[in-house]
Chains A and B, each alone.
Chain A
């Protein structure tokens, strides 16, 4: 039962349409989805530990997502489903390398808050650097949920889906992670 014999000329405007068209084999429609989620997928892979192999992980995840598209529940949002595949690929990679998943990111100075003086800016950079260092030292399970909730700005439900965890576990790990951060940061500033 083919719904399309020729492809519509206009690029799809929303995920549902892009997915429906991708399911008919329309690769241009799928390219729209890849373009839309590419940056977020790279952030996810890098923050969950793919390091300099994030590009490989992301491409593999998009290929896999395309090939599994028919198993995707179409009334569900595409974003967490895709990110779950990215997270899974990243885990496979770090596990196969036998290495610890690191938070492979660094601070950029271009997006710092506007401050009144160079001194204030330096303090702000310093505070962020120290907070990032503390996040890096969190146990992996807590770090992952903190990364998803705050660095990727995913909801609790999305985090649960992406990390394949029960929602209650996301809640408790977030709580524990924040508690630990608060202790460490508090000590740091004392």
Chain B
């Protein structure tokens, strides 16, 4: 019989006897340094806090000169799109969307390429989505929940995925706030590059057209929550919280609401 301690000790010993090929640490350091030096000057220094907001964590997909083998990267991205298309549209003939660039910002991964078909079907709830009051939401999540003063109290508040996302609803409007910008939380597929807009001293992106939106569950091991069509959306960041406001249909109104978020 194997006692608990014995099994744990065997696992530790096994871990130490695993052979993992890795380049010499100083070679990795040189390669990373070379990549950082090849960034445009504006991106080279680490983001500094500006009014609580880090500078843009935005990087366009490599265009051939980066270290990441571009062919490998492209193949991967196209396969994601292919999976989503197959999943959502079944036998419908679809031109394969050629995704050419990826923009990551505020926890959202934007895949920008040939206009992909819009997903069909009813939206699925986020994992573990449940209805709460605003006060309960504030207790259940680890980040500050902002409410726009330009709007009345939300009609509906939901918390999902173990407190990772808070969603506030008004008729026709939805504001998602979520923890973390390093991890992809949502994925959007777009036909065209979104519009970069200023929100005070911070940067935001406006996606003016309808687009496919999927949710990448916490922990990463599970399949994305399937894509749903999303209305034009403003995305921005507040401290380390990502926000997406969907449904205003008009950039000016979206900015007005975003500016009033407290």
Contact = CB atoms under 8 A, between A and B. Distances in A.
B224 A95 contact: yes
Contacts of B191: none
Interface string B8-41: 1011111111111011011011111101110000
Nearest to B68: A56
Chain A: number of interface residues, binned into ranges:
35 or more
Interface residues of B, number: 63
Contacts of B20: 42-43, 46-47, 54, 105
A101 B11 contact: no
B227 to A, nearest CB: 14
Interface of A: prevailing SS: helix
A68 B54 contact: yes
Given A46-B20, A151-B18, A164-B180, A68 B7 contact: no
Interface of B: 1-2, 4, 7-8, 10-20, 22-23, 25-26, 28-33, 35-37, 43-49, 54-55, 57, 59, 67-69, 72, 76-77, 79-80, 83, 109, 162, 180-184, 216, 218-221, 224, 240
Closest 8 CB pairs of A and B: A91-B220, A108-B19, A151-B15, A42-B22, A150-B11, A69-B46, A38-B25, A96-B76
Interface of A: 22-23, 25, 27, 30-32, 34-36, 38-39, 42-43, 46-47, 53-56, 58-60, 62-64, 66-71, 84-85, 87-88, 91-93, 95-98, 101, 105-113, 127-128, 131-132, 135, 140-141, 144, 146, 150-153, 163-166, 169, 178, 181-182, 185-186, 189
